Chains A and B, each alone.
Chain A
Amino acid sequence: MDRNQSRRQISLMRQSLFDQGYLDEQFIQLEELQDDANPNFVEEIVTLYYRDSSRLISSIEQNLERNPPDFNKLDNIMHQFKGSSSSIGAKKVKAECALFREYCRAGNGEGCMKTFQQLKKEYGTLRKKLEAYFQLARQAGPAETASRPK
């Protein structure tokens, strides 16, 4: 694949992540923070997020197994997870977090469980998409990760 084709593909991939609602403006903030001193900043943050948030996912899983679940505790953990997800612009994940918290406040265990399944799905999908995006960007060269739509 020649360079121009690569660039176009990366740009399209990136745009579709926004168009399909996977990412929000916070991701653009991350791109703007990337510079020569921190050329892989966006990928670093995303990697950090997935590494760190896995413990929160496990914690929620454990707490959901309790009968009855401690909704207050679940809400607190989810607040943390939502905050973390917000910092990388994970739009769909964030939406599921908000829904989960609504169910917590309503004391609806089943609602929580269903939402959590959906959350994990979105979390996994985003991870795969971003991995593919970063891989392509790396192949094409460092300049591509900060490309903006025209």
Chain B
Amino acid sequence: MAALQTITQSSVSTGATSYNSCKGAASTSASAFEKVVPDQFPAGLRVLVVDDDITTLRVLEQMSRKCHYDVTTCSEATVALNLLRERKGCFDVVLSDVHMPDMDGYNLLEHVGLEMDLPVIMMSADGRTSAVMRGD
């Protein structure tokens, strides 16, 4: 039997959004209600995608839209981390590239894991499992 998932409904909007969409979340979190959505999940999943390659980022954004995720994109890890800190509770999962110029993906993973306790999915053009398993 499929596990039922509960999500806190803050702002469920399809399509990519910029940081502004999270503005309401902080104030409504106290009054946010929990909703069981077995059929819709994971529609509305709030994903933060981090990748320094803007072509890849745009593709990931579109893929997320097609999955009806609420997607926010970021091309810099440091900006992503600040965003996660500023808008705590605004995201359900982080999708991050491994190789980035400003911050290693594993570094981001470490920070996010410690500070926000959010799941982070690592991505790499390097097909070897070892490249992403390092995140353990």
Taking a contact as CB atoms under 8 Å apart, the answer to whether A45 and B52 are in contact is no
- The segment from B20-28, B40-48, B55-63 found at the interface with A is B55-63
For B63, list chain A residues within 8 Å (CB).
Answer: 33
Find the A residue at minimum CB distance from B59. A87
Name the prevailing secondary structure of the A interface residues: helix
Give the residues in chain A near B56, CB-CB below 8 Å. Answer: 83-84, 87
Q: Which residues in A have their C-beta under 8 angstroms from that of B126?
A: 79
Q: Report A70 CB to chain B, min CB distance, Å.
A: 15
| Secondary structure type dominating chain B contacts | helix
Mask for B121-136, Cβ within 8 A of A = 1, else 0?
0000110000000000
Which residue of chain B has the shortest Cβ distance to A94 in the bound complex? B125
Q: In the complex the two chains form, is B53's CB within 8 Å of A83's CB?
A: yes
* Distance between B97 CB and nearest chain A CB, rounded to angstroms: 8
Closest to B124 in A: A83
- Most chain A CB atoms below 10 A, which of B58, B65, B66: B58
Q: Inside 8 A of B59's CB, which chain A residues have their CB?
A: 29-30, 33, 45, 87
In the complex, whether A18 has a CB less than 8 A from a CB of chain B is no
For residues 67 through 118 of chain A, which have their beta carbon under 8 Å from a beta carbon of chain B? 76, 79-80, 82-84, 86-88
Report A7 CB to chain B, min CB distance, Å.
25
CB distance from A47 to the nearest CB of B (A): 10
Q: Is A134 an interface residue (CB 8 A)?
A: no
Cβ B55 vs Cβ A82 within 8 A: no
Q: A33-B66, A80-B99 are in contact. Are A86 and B125 (CB under 8 A)?
A: yes
- Interface size grouping (class) on chain B: 10 to 19
Q: How large is the interface on A (under 10, 10 to 19, 20 to 34, 35 or more residues)?
A: 20 to 34
Q: Is B54 interfacial (CB 8 A cutoff)? A: yes
Q: Is the CB of B66 within 8 A of A49?
A: no
Chain A residues lying within 8 Å of B55, measured Cβ to Cβ, are 45, 48-49, 52-53, 84, 87-88
Q: Provide the bound-state CA to CA distance between A88 and B53, in Å.
A: 12
* Cross-chain contact of B58 among A37, A45, A53, A79 (Cβ < 8 A): A45
Whether B62 and A41, one on each chain, are in contact in the complex, defined by CB atoms closer than 8 angstroms, is yes
Binding site for B on A (CB under 8 A): 29-30, 33, 35, 37-38, 41, 44-45, 48-49, 52-53, 76, 79-80, 82-84, 86-88
Q: A29-B59, A37-B65 are in contact. List 20 more A-B contacts (CB 8 A).
A: A33-B59, A33-B62, A33-B63, A38-B62, A45-B55, A45-B58, A48-B58, A49-B55, A76-B99, A79-B125, A79-B126, A80-B52, A80-B99, A82-B125, A84-B53, A84-B55, A87-B53, A87-B55, A87-B59, A88-B55
